[in-house]
Structure 1
Amino acid sequence: MLLPCLTDVLAFTKQLVQIESVVNTDGEKVISHSLHTLLTSFPYFQENQTHLVIEPTIDDDYERYNVLAFVKGTKSSSNRTVILMGHVDTVGIDDFNQLKSLACYPDELAEALKKEDLAEEVKEQLESGNWLFGRGTLDMKSGLASHLYLLKYYSEHPEELDGNLVFLAECDEEDSSNGILSSLKTLKRWKTEHHFDYVAAINADFVAPRFKGDQNRYIYKGTVGKLLPSFFITGSETHVGACFEGLDPNFLAAELTQQINYNPELCNEALGETTVPPVSLKQMDMKPSYDVQTALSAYVYYNFFIHSWTPKDVIDKLTEQATIAFDRALRTYEERYEKYCKISGEAYRPIPWKTRVFTYEQMEENLLAEHGDMYKEHMNQFKGQLQQDKTLDSRMYAARVVEEAWKWMKDKSPAMILFYSSLYSPRIELTGKTPDESTLISALDEAVAEVQSDYPYPIVTRNFFPYISDMSFVALSDDDAGLQAVTNNNPSWGRKHFINFQDIRDINVPVVNIGPYGMDAHKRLERLEMTYSLEVVPTLTKRVIEKVLK
């Protein structure tokens, strides 16, 4: 039987949605303070004030806060503890266009949408009364509302809790995960102070159909990992009127993107599931303004998902792919140059360039060997100055660092330099290799089997949450060598961003995602199905908590 909680979870959802909390805006502060105020009204936290905190993020460019709370069960003296986690921030609302003022007001938005010419499926969902529209309804304030409902329930019934429950509402999930990374400090402190034995974490991020017509509601064990491999590409500049006297770096970049984009060889299969292939997220040259000289350099980066590969594996695979692309670019260039010489009557001269692909780590090692402390001191000063430019995100900051380092290279013939330019969201494989993993998997399977009969659509468990989420920062599947490939190949490391991987290892809790079901997250028609999201999700989560703590 499902919990009779739809009305309460819906009320919490609307309360949270109506606070516009777009990432990297003051709205993140507002929602965290509002949530903290709400929790202070619960009698349990009035009696146990130290069990509730609101804390600013650490080393962040923005002022924003995490809200954490815990309930100590009285059913036994067990230290076993489950973490319920979810984020308070959303993506922006500009895509709502003329309905922007209604984006965070589900009831008013629904009435306005009824006047629009919508696809038949959307129209049916809107008129059914079982779908809630609006920014953050699906991603992921309804999931947070589910956890809020359970926190309230157990705060009123601690005698039913055979262990402890931690509630974490973190900020900045949609950008740089400063919220979850900062919260690890608090979770570690509580682990020591209250002897919490973290045995499971349950995230409540959204789930969606995997393909058109897919009726399954998915639950995920573990999560996909996400990297942003990047290339600084140099050419040989020339006047465009003498184009074959140089090598355009944009030409090399185009060949590289053709080689990497949508390439099935770069899909990572594990546990019977396969990632989507990489796709480019930026391709540009570094010319600041127009002139008739070819660009000195180009910059590209790609989204890259992983299940079982490490960041070092990705470096190795992309070095190979870049070599293939560079070789092909030079062959194509040579063929076209020869044809041009034949039709123009110009004398053919062999091209002077060779394929050159190396990592940022390799370039750093070479430059330190060649220039020693002079190079090191210059780059430290340059990075410090560059850090003062708040318009640069970590991606462009990294590119500028590589560009500056390149100036110190003695051999400036065309090259591709491979590095990471953004946050690494680690992959998590949940296989049952530890007792806690095995217990969580069994609890999840049992809970799904028990609830399925009360819901008409299939509830299906899969191994990897397919989207980027804060699940990545509560456990690690990578070894030290894999992580060093990130730290040694990211020019932003320690300056623009930093992850204390030891904090994650100190928590290292198996994690699953039981979240609301809906469609069009991050889009104008973002919406959730209420029966599953507001009744099934809390019911499943409660049963998993009880089985894990039993």
Structure 2
Amino acid sequence: MLQTQEEVIALTKQLVSIESIVNTGGEKVIAHSLYTLISTFPYFSSNPSQVTILQTMNDDIERYNVLAYVKGTKGNSNRSVILMGHMDTVGIDDFTQLKDKACFPDELMDALKDEELPAPAKEQLKSGEWMFGRGVLDMKGGLASHLYLLRYYSDHPEELEGNIVLVAECDEEDGSHGILSALQTLKEWKTEHNFEYVAAINADFVSPRYEGDENRYIYKGTVGKLLPSFFITGAETHVGSCFEGLDPNFIAAELTKQINYNPELCNEAYGETTVPPVSLKQTDLKPSYTVQTALSAYVYYNFFIHSWSPKDVIEKLKEQAKIAFDKALSSFSERYKQYCQISNEPYLELPWKARVMTYEEMEHQLIKKHEDQYVVHMEEFKRELLSDETLDTRMFAARVVEEAWKWMDDKSPAIIVFYSSLYSPRIEITGKTANEQMLIDALDEAVEEMQPYYPHPIVTRNFFPYISDMSFVALSDDDEGINAVSLNNPGWGTKHFVNYQEIREINVPVINIGPYGIDAHKRLERAEMKYSFEVVPNLTHLVIQKVLNK
């Protein structure tokens, strides 16, 4: 077994000390620091062209990836394993008065000794077996494990039959510009060096799945994530005549009630089930206060998938939106009748029917009706909208739908379903290809060999349960599934674009062996050191050896 713990702890603290919050200048600083560090390794001093720092593409922020590779000298194999890890973290505002210590584990842990902590965290702090601090778990501890192995193999290329490639990427916590840009470099190296990518190992964090869960999980493949969004139009009216119109917020509320936490929208595959969707935003689009009801509302939801495609999801949510719309109209009608009874006013039948369509369907209608006039107008509108730097991809998409809606002849209340953000593809690793089966076998053997050295169960599961850059090195969706993303994202090709073909060209089976801990993204983020800094690098080392020696 490699004696890793002391060095991986030191590397983790070194990385954590560089504040690298996503979408800040810290991402640039840590990339340059990491590039400098790797360049000092003797192997890379002798082979400087084998480490590179590259700026991300199509990105509004200046930030960089660091990539490096070691060519093994044990034989002439081109088989190559990719080691992935992200350098960015979430923010540190939640550390409040300890904000200045958030990135310095030793100082932070000293300060936490004087605080009232939850019992588990207090015991773990006292034990000396856990490290606290922003990024120790998510995921600088995992990146440190990969750095250790990069240095180890660069010192011992004779133990490597094949190659290892390190990808240290930025922007994992937001838009994944890092890994999407790195794909281009991986493609170039594949051609230039004849690298045959046979496996990728990510090192993102793992946590207990429920209270009392003692398992340390390794994941084959990953959950997919979508952001289904809904533009909802109503019928505007003065609030003093409220039943003469239809408030889109009323429909939005029913829609959220229908979708939020709905078990029918959990996706089961291979005995594992996603959590249900949950609302991430709900608002109307009135710019300021008036006594008129809103013209439109906008809601979007997080949506995880294991086996459904984006096409499946949008069809399911179109059905859910129709159910919610019908319920909203039924409730409206019932309340209107009650009001008419107590106010002695005549009841009039509602003029509205439930009306739901996808963005793709609305676009088809508008292009058929208005042809180039509509197309040219919308292209110009999107170009002008790009100059508004206050709009993220989600609000940009909403504004495009809002503008397109103005061209509709029938403006009776409706729900438009679309996607407004990045699709992180699901990945299934089932053994359907030779490389997948080889990676599964190598992982199972490695776990069996390591388990006697660690007291808690090391357990493999099929889907990494959090959003990660694993999604962008392989693709399980067919073209029809991917087209449902591009055709239903109003910002596609302007504010947002992903070259899914580049992912398909890499298409390497991926697993996650990462540090174990608790409270990632929270003030008490912490990693258990023995598993994270000893078991993880050794497991990864064993998998590399078994994959490359097949």
TM-score by length of 1: 1.00
1:263 aligned partner: 262
C-alpha distance in structure 2 between counterparts of 1:117 and 1:48, whole Å: 51
C-alpha distance in structure 1 between counterparts of 2:161 and 2:496, whole Å: 39
Give the secondary structure class of the aligned counterpart of 2:407.
coil
Identity of aligned residues (%): 73
Give the secondary structure class of the aligned counterpart of 1:453.
helix
1:42 aligned partner: 41
2:416 aligned partner: 417
Give the secondary structure class of the aligned counterpart of 1:475.
coil
Cα offset for 1:460? 0.4
C-alpha distance in structure 2 between counterparts of 1:166 and 1:251, whole Å: 53
Cα offset for 1:3? 2.2
2:472 aligned partner: 473
1:522 aligned partner: 521
Cα offset for 1:350? 0.4
C-alpha distance in structure 2 between counterparts of 1:428 and 1:262, whole Å: 23
2:337 aligned partner: 338
C-alpha distance in structure 1 between counterparts of 2:462 and 2:341, whole Å: 58
Cα offset for 1:497? 1.5
Cα deviation digits, residues 453-484 of structure 1 (max 9, x gap): 00000000000000000000000000000000
2:72 aligned partner: 73
C-alpha distance in structure 2 between counterparts of 1:437 and 1:5, whole Å: 28
C-alpha distance in structure 1 between counterparts of 2:389 and 2:545, whole Å: 47
- AA partner of residue 164 (structure 1): N
Give the secondary structure class of the aligned counterpart of 1:308.
coil
1:27 aligned partner: 26
Cα offset for 1:27? 0.1
2:221 aligned partner: 222
2:242 aligned partner: 243
The equivalences for 1:69-468 within 5 A come to 69-468=68-467
2:498 aligned partner: 499
Give the secondary structure class of the aligned counterpart of 2:84.
strand
Give the secondary structure class of the aligned counterpart of 1:491.
coil
1:538 aligned partner: 537
C-alpha distance in structure 1 between counterparts of 2:492 and 2:15, whole Å: 34
C-alpha distance in structure 1 between counterparts of 2:158 and 2:41, whole Å: 17
Cα deviation digits, residues 372-423 of structure 1 (max 9, x gap): 1111111111101110111110000000000001011100000000000000
Cα deviation digits, residues 356-385 of structure 1 (max 9, x gap): 000000000111111111111111111011
Which ranges in structure 2 are unaligned for 5 or more consecutive residues? none
Cα offset for 1:50? 1.2
How many residues are matched?
549
Cα offset for 1:108? 0.2
Give the secondary structure class of the aligned counterpart of 1:62.
coil
C-alpha distance in structure 1 between counterparts of 2:81 and 2:489, whole Å: 34
Cα offset for 1:439? 0.2
C-alpha distance in structure 2 between counterparts of 1:528 and 1:43, whole Å: 30
Cα deviation digits, residues 227-263 of structure 1 (max 9, x gap): 0000000000000000000000000000000000000
C-alpha distance in structure 1 between counterparts of 2:389 and 2:374, whole Å: 25
Give the secondary structure class of the aligned counterpart of 2:490.
coil
Give the secondary structure class of the aligned counterpart of 2:114.
coil
Give the secondary structure class of the aligned counterpart of 2:453.
coil
C-alpha distance in structure 2 between counterparts of 1:117 and 1:306, whole Å: 39
Task: Let me know the Cα RMSD of the aligned residues.
Answer: 0.5
C-alpha distance in structure 1 between counterparts of 2:42 and 2:273, whole Å: 47
Give the secondary structure class of the aligned counterpart of 1:71.
strand
Cα offset for 1:46? 1.1
C-alpha distance in structure 2 between counterparts of 1:511 and 1:341, whole Å: 62
C-alpha distance in structure 1 between counterparts of 2:288 and 2:211, whole Å: 44
C-alpha distance in structure 2 between counterparts of 1:237 and 1:9, whole Å: 61
Cα deviation digits, residues 205-231 of structure 1 (max 9, x gap): 000000011110000000000000000
Give the secondary structure class of the aligned counterpart of 2:183.
helix
C-alpha distance in structure 1 between counterparts of 2:53 and 2:110, whole Å: 36
C-alpha distance in structure 1 between counterparts of 2:8 and 2:391, whole Å: 40
Cα offset for 1:315? 0.6
- AA partner of residue 455 (structure 1): Y
Cα deviation digits, residues 42-91 of structure 1 (max 9, x gap): 11111111111000000100000000000000001000000000000000
- AA partner of residue 360 (structure 1): Y
C-alpha distance in structure 1 between counterparts of 2:115 and 2:496, whole Å: 44
C-alpha distance in structure 1 between counterparts of 2:7 and 2:429, whole Å: 32
Task: Please identify runs of 4+ aligned residues in structure 1 that moved more than 4 A.
Answer: none
C-alpha distance in structure 2 between counterparts of 1:466 and 1:483, whole Å: 21
Cα offset for 1:149? 0.1
C-alpha distance in structure 1 between counterparts of 2:348 and 2:244, whole Å: 10
